Amino acid sequence: MNATSTINLARIAAMDCAQAARLLAGVRHAALAGRRPRVLPRPVIEESWGRMLLDGVDPDHDFRSRLLSIEELEQRRRSSPLAEIMPMLRDALVSVADAAHHIMVVCDAEGRVLWREGDSTVLRKADSLGFELGADWGESVVGTNGIGTPLIVRRPVQVFSAEHFVETHHAWTCTGAPISDPRDGRLLGVVDVSGPLSTVHPAMLTLVDSVAKLAEARLRENHLTALDRLRTVAAPVLARMEGRAIVVDPHGWSAAVTGMPPTDRLSLPKSLTAGHTWLPALGTCTVEPLPGGWLLRVEEEPRPLPATRVVLDLSGQRRWSVTVEGGGAGDWTHELSPRHAELLYLLSTQRKGRSASGLAGEMFGDPGRTVTVRAEVSRVRRYLGGLIAHRPYRFPEDVDVDVILPEHPAHLLPHSTAPAVREARRVPEP
């Protein structure tokens, strides 16, 4: 192998497990010593190791977080949307995990272990590592792993042996895939299959990813069923009303409308309560609760002036938000999807604006992907309205834009593979 080669899962699978583990151990040792290894780790692993070094994770000893109490664990299970798809995850993965001497683990978006099932011997071994119910398996706590790392990068990851940052985890292989809420893109958690490194199989990555996508599809089906129920409730309410009104579920999806053109979805503030609120798409609305959703009645008055200040909070590694101030009905906060966090960050770095091809080049490395960029900007404008101007795309000059960045550049949108974001994450050589 030459100095420019990079390890991949196919190469690992082609080796004897012990040989692959030795190779990876050498790569990790060189990286921790600040030397260039003779073969490079996979980019997703190398970037994770970089975050661990910045976060001060101990590479030699594992850290045990405080476990959730039984009451806390049960409360998180009840409130997690993942609870409704647990039967499907069990049917798809537990028998496979058990046969492969693995366990299936399901965590929430904070990396807390909510469910574990599978081989009893492997469960006992997991206990010895602190891989227990209620444990925090986030990357910044226990290092590079098949739960915490997918939570950060928002895509499936298989971590084999010494690819784990912490040495006490080197006897394991872990494969995890994130599960997002299909209604709003919100990260719900990770499904993971873990076990002894001798049982590693590259097909496990495809299997776990496929099951995660099936789980999201099941959530989408459940969502459509709930919308049908809400539509039944909304029909007689709207039939008695005059003026413009719309009934939406808690995530803004439309169930019924009167006095205005139909729309698929409205972007709602992060916290919506009965009373009055301002929405970019409608102006000032009266908000009333309904079983399973909200009734929004548009107040027939001039729409308030646009906001004068936008705060883009990119300081987190898993969640990001935009807050609009000055909209006429109090501050308004919206949680951002990974793609929209990228897009708004790029617009914030050049106030003069960017063309669709310019944004496509910075987001995808391909200036020709203008159709995708225009579609994403259109979606952003659903909740920011006139706060995103076009020709070129930009924030208007009379709007103050404050960006809250992570303490270290390497933590900026770690999920992002956009060339411009990768460049911004790069730490200058000393």
Residue 428 clears pLDDT 80, i.e. is over it:
no
Residue 307 clears pLDDT 80, i.e. is over it:
no
User: From the CA atom positions of the chain, what is the Rg in Å?
Assistant: 24
Model pLDDT for residues 45-59, shown as the tens digit of each residue: 999 999 999 888 999
Where do the structural domains in the chain lie, given as residue ranges?
58-220, 241-298, 309-425
Position 203 scores a pLDDT of 84
Residue 21 clears pLDDT 70, i.e. is over it:
yes
pLDDT confidence bin for 427, thresholds 50/70/90 = low
Between 385 and 223, residue with greater pLDDT? 223
Contact (CB, 8 A) for 380 and 343:
yes
Measured CA to CA, the distance from residue 223 to residue 184 in angstroms comes to 11
pLDDT confidence bin for 37, thresholds 50/70/90 = confident
Contact (CB, 8 A) for 107 and 190:
yes
pTM for the predicted model, two decimal places: 0.81
Position 276 scores a pLDDT of 83
Hey, what amino acid is at 367? P
pLDDT confidence bin for 3, thresholds 50/70/90 = very low
Between 184 and 49, residue with greater pLDDT? 49
Between 76 and 27, residue with greater pLDDT? 76
Between 117 and 332, residue with greater pLDDT? 117
pLDDT confidence bin for 1, thresholds 50/70/90 = very low
pLDDT confidence bin for 399, thresholds 50/70/90 = confident
Mean pLDDT of the chain: 88
Position 161 scores a pLDDT of 92
Model pLDDT for residues 155-168, shown as the tens digit of each residue: 999 999 999 999 99
Edge to edge, the sheet with strand 187-196 lists: 113-118, 103-108, 187-196, 172-180, 157-160
pLDDT confidence bin for 372, thresholds 50/70/90 = very high
User: Would you give the DSSP letter of residue 30?
Assistant: H
Residue 194 clears pLDDT 60, i.e. is over it:
yes
pLDDT confidence bin for 234, thresholds 50/70/90 = very high
Edge to edge, the sheet with strand 320-325 lists: 332-336, 320-325, 309-313, 400-404
Model pLDDT for residues 263-279, shown as the tens digit of each residue: 888 878 767 888 888 78
Measured CA to CA, the distance from residue 274 to residue 36 in angstroms comes to 59
88-101 burial code (b ≥16 CB/10 A, e <16) = ebbebbbebbbebe
Measured CA to CA, the distance from residue 334 to residue 398 in angstroms comes to 21
Position 318 scores a pLDDT of 85
Position 2 scores a pLDDT of 46
Residue 10 clears pLDDT 70, i.e. is over it:
no
Stretch among 93-102, 219-228, 341-350, 409-418 having the lowest mean pLDDT: 93-102
Residue 388 clears pLDDT 60, i.e. is over it:
yes
Mean pLDDT along residues 418-428? 85
Position 308 scores a pLDDT of 75
Measured CA to CA, the distance from residue 297 to residue 72 in angstroms comes to 38
Q: For 58-220, which CATH class?
A: alpha beta
Position 370 scores a pLDDT of 94
Model pLDDT for residues 316-371, shown as the tens digit of each residue: 888 899 988 765 555 678 889 899 999 999 999 988 899 999 999 999 999 999 99
Distance of CA 262 to the CA centre of its chain: 29
Residue 143 clears pLDDT 80, i.e. is over it:
yes
Position 61 scores a pLDDT of 86
Position 282 scores a pLDDT of 81
Mean pLDDT along residues 11-34? 80
Q: Ranked by mean pLDDT, which of 177-186, 356-365, 375-384, 392-401 comes out on top?
A: 356-365
